[in-house]
Chain A
């Protein structure tokens, strides 16, 4: 596959989004011109409409739909907001500009379209994702928070003004922000054999210092807690395009477990989207059983933690395998531990001992 092809593929993807967006406008225009109140139909984004797709190995939206009508007094405002967003993102994509979620909230005001708060505009953005079946990053809207990547990977930018410029992702020891430019960059070459996603910036820095990228031939990603979509999209691309296995390392608690779950199986909030899950990924720890096995310093689970465990137990994604098993362990030992807890046995123990053991163990499940 030549470079030229890859670039055009990226721009084809953008053109594709623009066509979809414009189609919305065309339909609405046609209705209005025929004296009909335009409507838009989209899949219902309620928990009840979540269905697990075994082929995709992720949650998807079910068949239930809602119709937004501009005729309905309660719906005409969100309807207008949605059409405005289509108009706005069409401009973004065609001009090769990006916008943050917050930018979208403020930009609306220039067009007499008000959002009462950012959560309202975020909702409308999700609506547009559902209608287009495309992630917001596809129409150049990004969240504020960014996570980082480090490792031996040559990339080439596709963003405006940087087209064709290349970079190796080991050239800066703090790592590189996974933003719009990196998310859309082409992957040129790598010597890495695995991807390791870690929950915390501190551990990410330790891994860089301890040369995990060389010792384990790994690309390291800091998810900075629950990973933003651009990071999940990046993980998906790395896994798919470079055909590398993804390992996820989190704190030893249910929240860590859920971060791993979202990376691997997708989130409920993004069930309308594909390309955000890494079904082949593996959670290597810290497990509840590791707290016992490695005699990690721990703190007791709070009432809220225990409540959350019971919630997760009802979630079908946790119905089997390592997920169900470790959930039970947390509930049994009523303890949790952080990645930093390994520091009790020396700062490098986690890299020297824990990581290799867990990577080895991962081969068996």
Chain B
């Protein structure tokens, strides 16, 4: 029997992502440069926020030196520096040199999920330029650890080339310098947009960006207020899978199933645990260690199917909140009108999430027409808009006619979904899947802000109407006075001025009909005798707009 030529070999996570880098957003030099910037900046922001530090991030992209004929002419040096807590000297190499090593395997809201992105950027830099990454970090402000290293892709482990400790300048933080193949001219628009939107959704952060031309952009923080940091939370029964359940059982030292459930799951108390065990036909006194593999599968199904578990609460989430979101919007978009709607916490498959939606009317920063800015866990999502759930809601679920917003109104909708697990469709983190629960929350929030902009616009319209009316009267009444004086042969103008004042006053208050002169509304003048039909048409339109307000009442309490 001939030897089988098929060889089985294990590949490391690094190897896997090396081979599948398209998935993680490193498909071409332009996209890769953008993704690298993004991953490193988001790591920095997460690090700062975890310690309630106002982020101060410095980003520099340095253009390749020398003539364009050189082979490394598209090798960019990317440096991202933050004022975060720094990384402990003994963890640095593994934190940055190993895929799936990180501080983020907890159930609370964070930008990154697996500590994957930063390492991907480093990995990509290494495979395209074969240059080491330089990490500098200080946790105490006194010593600065500097590490030059590369990643052994096959073993998923760091190779330290040089390591030194230097005196620090007094502040903590981390900087990462990576050389990577990029295409700044093609990536620049997305990168600029990324920083602008990041500044919008992180208005408490200072962000400085120096581009390859040496141009500096400074996004200054507009508030001292930080969003309430998320608390770590236990997994919710609905969001637990077989593997997770097995791990929890392994870790726990609980004597019986009742205690096991109460101690290891989110919002499960004695009463609900007993009900559940009854539902799952499990003896409350049984030890978790006695569960067989089949039992674990059955238990997982039961956890998913039991309807009486409480929905996850929002404590593990960190929404921006109305105030911070408005601050960010005002800071970056400077609109005429802004409104924010924050939905109460909701959950899909046991994962809690909160939807926040902002609406911007009349921003000079944005062009005419409807625009959508999407964010998830404070990350701007710039690609694949058309596949996103928010896009779907806006284009398929919202009846725009109801809100009487003109087609080309300068309107932008800003959606922010925060969750312990954002339902991304891909590893590239660019668009959200249309989970029905998420879709419903986004829809309700968008409707809410649309109702508010509707009443803003109607109010604005009626104010303008009052102003225009006042102008009309103050233009025509003096003329009427003058001509009638001349015709009547009177020596002085009639005393019409009080009439004018009364007109202005009454109009700005309410539209109550005056009593001193009867106004025959029903007998519109027909200046053009043969055009009765046209005038009827006009009245129809008027009535229609009155109905519009009734419609508004109708959906006010949805």
Contacts and interface: CB of A to CB of B under 8 A. Distances in A.
Contacts of A120: 527
Contacts of A86: 483, 487
Interface string B469-488: 10011011101110111111
A28 B487 CA distance: 9
A40 B514 CA distance: 18
Interface in A13-27: 21-22, 24-26
B480 A32 contact: yes
Interface string A19-45: 001101110111011011111000011
Interface string A68-98: 1111111111111001101100100000000
Interface centre among B473, B475, B525 (most CB of A within 10 A): B525
Nearest to B468: A73
Interface residues of A, number: 50
A78 B525 contact: yes
Contact of A48 (B488, B495, B532): B532
B528 interface: yes
Contacts of B189: none
A127 interface: yes
B250 interface: no
A133 B521 CA distance: 25
B167 interface: no
A78 B528 CA distance: 12
A351 interface: no
A112 interface: yes
Interface residues of B, number: 39
A80 to B, nearest CB: 4
B530 A28 contact: no
B517 interface: yes
B512 interface: no
B524 interface: yes
A24 B469 CA distance: 25
B407 to A, nearest CB: 27
Contact of B487 (A21, A33, A45, A46): A21
A191 to B, nearest CB: 42
A123 interface: yes
A1 B519 CA distance: 50
Nearest to A36: B517
A28 B479 CA distance: 12
A80 B532 contact: no
Contacts of B496: 32-33, 35
B77 to A, nearest CB: 66
B527 A29 contact: no
B460 to A, nearest CB: 18
A80 B480 contact: yes
Contact of A75 (B484, B517, B525, B528): B525
B525 A25 contact: no
Contacts of A83: 479-480, 483-484, 487
Interface string B509-542: 0000010110111011111111010000000000
6 contacts: A29-B488, A77-B472, A83-B487, A87-B487, A112-B475, A268-B529
- 6 closest cross-chain pairs (CB), A and B: A25-B487, A32-B494, A33-B494, A87-B483, A45-B529, A28-B484
Interface of B: 469, 472-473, 475-477, 479-481, 483-490, 494-496, 498-499, 502-503, 514, 516-517, 519-521, 523-530, 532
Given A26-B487, A35-B516, 5 more contacts: A47-B529, A69-B520, A73-B472, A90-B487, A123-B528
